[in-house]
Structure 1
């Protein structure tokens, strides 16, 4: 007699076994966690942890939870545990007092789908490779002289933007300022990074931009459960596969660009050309005496991180500034009056004018305070230590909520109000607030951390600051801005932990000053 086996019964048993195993592991993890002295934590569910308490906008969600559970709390995304810091004193302890102990970073995203496993510079652990690349960045790639050398690129791309807007203004056409600004920042970075190749193929910027957008789009489709959940490695919906395909496409384009650079070097055609970022990295790659031998994968991923970190964050910051200026016409009017009093009415505002434009600086600072480009700073313990009286194990992952710190009512009067005047000396009433106008963007004052602080602060801050001031100054000097529909722009951010605007800014530019006729 033959016995018939029902395969579905085995599938059911296997499924139950998986769930039971996950529940037991979760119980054991919670038991071990509770047996040690840890920061307070909201009630967690088995397997998913605190995912049920979190909305798509993490900084605001963490801010709300911190009001209930304190400035240092423990949050669990599936099997990943983080400490969330929402207090200026704790942030200072991490970023300054014990900066070396917290100098490592980690990837807060779908690392298991990346084709560049251990090739990151921005997110790599604190060690020999990071120190080598940081030194290379501050001495050659993004040093002051190198940034000054690319001033003509910034001027050319800004004029290209203004010309496009003036053309639309003359035709009475609306402009998608979101797309215009994204193209501006992408072109700037592409020309600084690979100017030699760009001069041969001006469409390179668009090609790179499309590839980076595809990578970001693929990554955005991965939900919390697919990034932090217990079944994250199974790629149930296939989004991870599509992300890897997009990464391989970018890899192929960068590999060809690198070969073209090397071919030109062999011909001796690059000796008198401008040394862009690719040129310097390949020169370092060939250096047999270099402290660290770079790999081709590290160079490719460096460029990907450069575009991911530099394009959308800078364009989003400009977009936020324009959104607030359109929503607050009295601020825009005051800014234009300052520009006209300093620059006059016969030429375009220049980068060299910025030190003499304190209100423009205040507008940028207030924009970065309310809409920080990096709302959550990532750090990781290099060794066992204490923080806020609690024991931290080596490898503990930390998220510093700069969004909450820069909206803390104990520090800022009316923190949700857009008021650039708070950064001007004549608007400060208390001794504590009289230092606001001296706040810079380099993270030395821990009340104001738009670009982070310490060893792992944003290396692109000098470039971003120049672009922000020059671009916003030009857009206000040259145009009035009219919305398609009356009213204010809806101020919302995209899902996730970035600070990008959730919608396109479509408006009519009305020419006030034409620099091409001056």
Structure 2
């Protein structure tokens, strides 16, 4: 009798578990069916294998803008095997980057990015404990107000070098390649803050480092068929893999030598009893401190440090130089704006000294010029994210794994968002109350030069220190 009761109880438990499993499966199938009822965003007609690549030109943001005018502010493309969504309004940007931020907290890694950042960087890392640790380290140490203040002499010195070069060229009536020299200016600031080296034409180590970083920046922006068409993943049609593997070897060799030299220097200082606190530590020193700290929340590796250096170099050089170059071009094309800028600097700073970082709060028109350049010529034309889970945006289904592009360039030129959008008009940012004023920190989705939310660019403070002071000497 006891055996029969036990068997009956066991049968009942199995029946209950089976019923629960069937119920759960039924619920999952029902939810999947309901999700399928939610449509994907509109899409143009694609082709087999290549998808919609045939509709795109070399400037993706401009191609996307043209497609948006035909298919709406949120549309769907298939780039080879990769599903992509493109959003082109501030409202959609807000829904994606704020209301559904965690669903779009990842960034796509191409084969080049994966290798060149050692799969250990910050910019393309998944939203996990390591990413959170580096973000906190950036805000409290690497890019904190205290650290940026310590490097003020470096920024001032590099600006003086730049101005001296321009003065010498003018004295002899020689032309100057501003694109190249602005890149050198921003490169040298980052190089000194990162590694305490600068490109002077005599330091082969610094020159080699900056040369390879230039190649990295270029290859990150190039199209690699293997990243988008699934059956090409392991076929190097374009010789792309061979190129970025060569760049990686050279970068790794340069950074390994720099780090080894620095570690030996730090060891000698410790053995000699000279405190490093007497000097200003650069970023490499700060990260080596974390590497050597057994109590660190996250244990960094040398590859982490090399990858972080890559992140900072690629993010902190081209973007600042591009904004400076575009703003100077617009000032030359708009004499009335140039005259107002010159007058503001003369009134606030005078003509006997250079603009200093402490002058920035008193130069609202210069700040308005910078914001207008961000609007009209965003250094990063599109904010990119990757969906880590399925989401519904504006009534459309965004599948997990989709790439998502927020078209900053198109938003900045949209007549429904901006009055006179095709005119360079800094005054649009003036005369606002504190609550109406538009910032560039990701709170106003009409203007997102640094992105928004958790994955916004942490270098915004450095960029907004560098940009205003570069105007004064050129305008007065």
Which TM-score band (shorter chain)? 0.7 to 0.9
Kindly indicate whether residue 421 of structure 2 is the aligned counterpart of residue 415 of structure 1.
Answer: yes
Equivalent residue in structure 2 for 1:53, among 46, 52, 55 = 55
Please say which of residues 157-166 and 72-81 is displaced more in the overlay: 72-81
1:436-475 equivalent positions in 2, closer than 5 A: 438-475=437-474
Residue pair 2:105, 2:455 contacting (<8 A) in 1 also: yes
> Relative to 1, partners in 2 of residues 1:168 and 1:116: Cα closer, same or farther, differing over 3 Å?
closer
> Relative to 1, partners in 2 of residues 1:470 and 1:204: Cα closer, same or farther, differing over 3 Å?
farther
Residue pair 2:112, 2:220 contacting (<8 A) in 1 also: no
Quote the residue 1:209 is aligned against: 210
1:268-417 equivalent positions in 2, closer than 5 A: 268=270, 271=276, 272-417=278-423
Partner secondary structure for residue 82 of structure 1: strand
CA distance in 2, matches of 1:299, 1:407: 39
Kindly indicate whether residue 123 of structure 2 is the aligned counterpart of residue 122 of structure 1.
Answer: yes
Residue pair 2:450, 2:457 contacting (<8 A) in 1 also: yes
Kindly indicate whether residue 153 of structure 2 is the aligned counterpart of residue 147 of structure 1.
Answer: no
1:195-274 equivalent positions in 2, closer than 5 A: 195=196, 202-218=203-219, 222-223=222-223, 225-230=225-230, 231-267=232-268, 268=270, 271=276, 272-274=278-280
Q: CA deviation at 1:436?
A: 9.6
1:31-83 Cα offsets, whole Å, 9 max, x none, are xx998621111111000000000111011111111111111111111111111
> Relative to 1, partners in 2 of residues 1:115 and 1:60: Cα closer, same or farther, differing over 3 Å?
closer
Equivalent residue in structure 2 for 1:81, among 57, 80, 83 = 83
Q: Which has the larger radius of gyration?
A: 2
Residue pair 2:117, 2:310 contacting (<8 A) in 1 also: no
**How large is the Cα RMSD of the aligned pairs?**
2.3
Q: CA deviation at 1:103?
A: 2.1
Residue pair 1:373, 1:450 contacting (<8 A) in 2 also: yes
Q: CA deviation at 1:110?
A: 4.0
Residue pair 1:86, 1:400 contacting (<8 A) in 2 also: yes
* TM-score when normalising by structure 1: 0.79
Quote the residue 2:139 is aligned against: 138
1:184-203 equivalent positions in 2, closer than 5 A: 184-195=185-196, 202-203=203-204
Quote the residue 2:183 is aligned against: 182
Residue pair 2:142, 2:286 contacting (<8 A) in 1 also: yes
1:433-474 Cα offsets, whole Å, 9 max, x none, are x77972111111111111111111111111111111111222
CA distance in 2, matches of 1:347, 1:197: 25
Q: CA deviation at 1:254?
A: 0.5
CA distance in 2, matches of 1:359, 1:436: 18
Residue pair 2:104, 2:386 contacting (<8 A) in 1 also: yes
Q: CA deviation at 1:112?
A: 7.3
Residue pair 1:321, 1:472 contacting (<8 A) in 2 also: no
1:172-216 Cα offsets, whole Å, 9 max, x none, are 1111111110110000000001127999x8554322211112333
Quote the residue 2:68 is aligned against: 66
Task: Could you list the structure 1 runs, at least 4 aligned residues long, displaced by more than 6 angstroms after superposition.
Answer: 33-36, 196-199, 434-437
1:350-399 Cα offsets, whole Å, 9 max, x none, are 11111111110111110111111111111223333321112333333211
Partner secondary structure for residue 285 of structure 1: helix
1:149-182 Cα offsets, whole Å, 9 max, x none, are 1111110000110011011111111111111101
Gapped regions of structure 2 (runs ≥ 5): 1-34
Residue pair 2:184, 2:199 contacting (<8 A) in 1 also: no
CA distance in 2, matches of 1:448, 1:105: 20
Residue pair 1:378, 1:398 contacting (<8 A) in 2 also: yes
1:208-245 Cα offsets, whole Å, 9 max, x none, are 2111123334555x535354234243112323202210
Q: CA deviation at 1:100?
A: 2.6
CA distance in 2, matches of 1:444, 1:219: 28
CA distance in 1, matches of 2:90, 2:394: 12
> Relative to 1, partners in 2 of residues 1:358 and 1:169: Cα closer, same or farther, differing over 3 Å?
same
